[in-house]
Chains A and B, each alone.
Chain A
Amino acid sequence: MKLESSKTILTKLFTEYYLTGTQAKKEGKPIAFITAFAPVEILRAMGVFCMYPESYAVVCAASKKASEMIHASRMSSFTQDLCSYSLIDFGTEHYERLPYGGLPDPDMLIATNNQCGTTLLWFKLLSKKKNIPLFIIDYPAAADDRPALRQYIRRQHESLVEFVQQQTSNPIDDQILSEQIANSKKTCQTWKNIHELNKQSPIRLSANKLINALFPIVAAKGTKSACDYYEALLHENQPSPENESKGATRLLWHGYPMWFLAKKFPGCFDTDFQIVLDDYTLWWDLDYSSGADPMEAMTKAYSSTYLNWPLNQKLDWVESLVDEYAIGGVICHANRSCRRALADIVPLRKRLSKRNIPSIIVESDMANPDFYSKEQVRLRIESFRETLRAS
């Protein structure tokens, strides 16, 4: 049987995600809005269709609607200083030309603090405004070596099951939960393997292609379709016996891409000066390896997200990527929207400097093009290229 191409699977996944959401609403099936690192497997095992407002904000930004939607959010008196994902979501209320006609109204909200504090406030506001029940999960950092914290997280996952059961009357299906966890584990492993193709030179997938392949691991992790997609992508990009390209500068992009740009990264890159990795795409490589118990696996996976790590762990990880991917220079995106991601840039540059790894900062935003100054960013990247070439 001929395998489906990754492109075909991705198109289907994307379309189905939005169509199924609308259809589920019509059929009276429960819908949850969840934050990017919420334990989606539990919800799916209880028959809940999950949608990600952050992912939708990315779609709006990529559709060049972010600026208008953010301006529309001002009708609800929000300041531009908030996270642009949340502003895009707040703008949906006052904006008519929404991609895919907008998201259906949710029946419940699940928010976590393993990425930032803004999502909690954002979801609290949604809950209050639309009178929708909200469940918040607290993931303390560095829970790995502390059994009491792991137990605390596990109990919250169990409480989530009770919460969803109250909302839907659906019991949890343990078999589906196990399948979801197995799929998530496989998806993350394959995603990591795909990235590792870029350890060789020339790289197999540009950072831009990796960004465009991110949607399934964000919005469909746990499903078989997501597994199939990444298997197909890996299969299509097997290492080739091409000669190594000598002298090329391999770059790491640290942090969020710029979703409003057609190519997601600003500046002129080519095979001699190439982003081989954006560490942001690896933030979704969660660790489901802790045992066969699904609850235990989720405890580890969701408490150990990149943005929830202590600073030194973050810096160690980025440094390990620099070594593994033979990085010659790092471009740090100071993303105005994300305070947590901003905090590690200066210490990271200090660390890199001690190892003579050059780095620069470019200032912009992940989704709001109003905070992007094309010429200023290009000048910084061009200057970086010149200095790397001269060194």
Chain B
Amino acid sequence: MTYILGIDAGSSYIKFVLIDETGGIIGKSIVPRGAEIDASCRKNYEILSETLEIDQKQIDGIIATGYGRKQVSFADEVITEITALAIAGYSITPNIRMIIDIGGQDSKVVSLNESGKVIDFVMNQKCSAGTGKFLEVTSASLGVKVEDLGPLSLNADKDLSLSSTCTVFAESEIISFVAAGQKKENIIKALHNTISSQILGLYYQANADDQGEILFAGGVALNDGMVTQLSSKLNQRVRVPENPQFICALGAALFLKNKQMKKPV
């Protein structure tokens, strides 16, 4: 049996997905990015193969994607997240026409045709509005763990409105809300609403096709509050895949697998 390793060296976390010849996921892991991307990737590659008791000689190819993709010196190939998302999304279901990925540093909306080819993509502007970083910073100012944001927001009982999409200014507004005695559940819901509005802007720019399903990928898709808000704004329940934070790494691995299958023997 041979395997392919997909590495998504993102701005906040590095994700590893190992697939077999059928494209099935054999193992996965996620670690904080750290300062040394290459060293961190090597170390965790070792750990993953040891844990899965796989001889590295059985690994037929390694591919990297994400912001740090070019720093993974032992990768055989690199691709961008846009290509990786498209391949992974289409592998989940060919009905997918849009993929929304909210990462640590950027948000992406990718539109696909019925063959799974990218027909358009839009990414957030240069600032961190509408990204995972926005949630990370603002949750810290509320003293709430990122993973608790979703459940808390579902208990909101009042609509608040954040006027700023800027991470820094939003943080100031949150402090004002807290000082005014607003419940944190309501503040968190307002945060989700702000990000969803940003994503909606990208969605409309990406020449969206209303006929298909929308896949929500990236670590933020684990947040049920965000899923609810996005679905409400898009008038459609977004589909969250199993392990949404590993979608890019999976897509990269599938890309390499497909490429190797096309290679003449």
Interface residues on A, range: 20 to 34
Provide the residues of chain B in CB contact with A380, threshold 8 Å.
123
Q: Are B83 and A386 in contact (CB under 8 A)?
A: yes
User: Which residues in chain A, 198-248, are within 8 Å of chain B measured between CB atoms?
Assistant: none
Q: A390–B205 contact, CB under 8 A?
A: no
Bound together, the chains give a CA A360 to CA B80 distance in angstroms of 15
Please report the C-alpha to C-alpha distance between residue A390 and residue B79 in the assembled complex, in whole angstroms.
12
How far is it, in angstroms, between the C-alpha of A376 and the C-alpha of B124 when the chains are bound? 10
Interface presence of B17 (CB below 8 A) = no
C-alpha spacing A360/B205, complex, angstroms = 10
In contact, A390 and B117 (Cβ under 8 angstroms):
yes
| The 7 nearest A-B residue pairs measured at CB | A383-B82, A387-B118, A383-B80, A353-B207, A386-B83, A391-B117, A373-B126
Chain B interface, DSSP helix/strand/loop, else mixed: mixed
A391 to B125, alpha carbons, bound, how many Å? Answer: 25
Question: In the bound complex, how far is the Cα of B104 from the Cα of A124, in angstroms?
Answer: 45
- A292 contacts partner chain B, Cβ-Cβ < 8 Å: no
Indicate which residue in B83, B120, B126 contacts A376 across the interface (CB closer than 8 Å): B126
CB within 8 A of B79: which of A358, A359, A386, A391?
A386
User: Are the C-beta atoms of A390 and B83 separated by less than 8 Å?
Assistant: yes
Interface residues on B, range: 10 to 19
Quick check: A379 and B80 within 8 Å, CB to CB?
Answer: yes
Q: How near does chain A come to B67, taking the closest CB pair, in angstroms?
A: 7
Interface residues of B in 101-147 (CB under 8 A from A): 106, 117-123, 125-126
User: Does B81 belong to the interface (CB within 8 Å)?
Assistant: yes
- Min distance, Cβ A83 to any Cβ of chain B, angstroms: 18
Judge whether A350 and B207 touch: CB under 8 Å.
yes
Contacting residues, chain B, for A383 (C-beta < 8 A): 80-83, 121
Within 8 A of B (CB), among A330-389: 346, 349-350, 353, 356, 358-361, 363, 371, 373, 375-376, 379-380, 382-383, 386-387
Which chain B residues lie closer than 8 Å to A391 at the CB level?
A: 117-119
Q: From A350, A359, A387, give the contact of B83 (CB < 8 A).
A: A387
Q: Which residues of B contact A375 (CB under 8 A)?
A: 67
Query: A47 to chain B: closest CB distance in Å?
Result: 47
Complex: A379 Cα to B122 Cα, angstroms: 12
Which residues of B lie under 8 Å from residue A382 when comparing CB positions?
A: 80
Q: Nearest A residue to B66 by beta-carbon distance?
A: A379
Docked-complex contact A376 and B205, CB < 8 angstroms: no
A365 → chain B closest CB, angstroms:
10
- Which B residues between 46 and 86 are near A, CB-CB below 8 angstroms? 67, 79-83, 86
Interface of A is mostly: helix
- Cβ contact within 8 Å between A371 and B126: yes
Most chain B beta carbons < 10 A, residue from A359, A373, A383, A386? A383
15 A-B residue pairs with Cβ-Cβ distance under 8 Å, sorted by A, are A346-B205, A349-B205, A353-B119, A353-B120, A353-B207, A361-B122, A363-B126, A373-B126, A375-B67, A379-B80, A383-B80, A387-B86, A387-B118, A390-B83, A391-B118
B119, A358: Cβ atoms closer than 8 Å: yes
User: 1/0 per residue A134-173: CB within 8 Å of B?
Assistant: 0000000000000000000000000000000000000000
Q: CA separation between A373 and B125, bound complex, in Å?
A: 10
Question: Which A residues are CB-close (under 8 A) to B207?
Answer: 349-350, 353
Say yes or no: A376 contacts B81, CB within 8 Å: no
Chain A residue contacts of B121, Cβ below 8 A: 360, 383, 387
Closest to B111 in A: A353
| Interface residue ranges of A256-282 to B (CB < 8 Å) | none
- What residue in chain B is nearest A386 (Cβ atoms)? B83
B133 to chain A, nearest CB (A): 13
Nearest-CB distance from B121 to chain A (Å)? 6
User: Complex formed: what's the CA distance from A337 to B79 in Å?
Assistant: 32
B-side contacts of A373, CB under 8 Å: 126
Chain B: CB-nearest residue to A346: B205
Hey, which chain B residues are within 8 Å of A349, CB to CB?
205, 207
Question: In the complex the two chains form, is B120's CB within 8 Å of A358's CB?
Answer: yes
Residues of the A chain whose Cβ atoms lie less than 8 Å from the Cβ of B67: 375, 379
Say yes or no: A363 contacts B118, CB within 8 Å: no
Complex Cα spacing A371 to B126, Å: 9
Residue contact A387 to B205, C-beta cutoff 8 Å: no
- B residues near A350, Cβ cutoff 8 Å: 207
- Measured CB to CB, the nearest residue on chain B to A379 is B80
Cα separation A358 to B118 with both chains bound (whole Å): 10
Residues of B within 8 A of A371 (CB): 126
Nearest chain B CB to A335's CB is how many angstroms away? 13
Give 14 A-B pairs besides A360-B122, A379-B80 with Cβ atoms closer than 8 angstroms: A346-B205, A353-B207, A359-B120, A361-B205, A371-B126, A376-B106, A376-B126, A379-B123, A382-B80, A383-B121, A386-B79, A386-B82, A387-B82, A387-B118
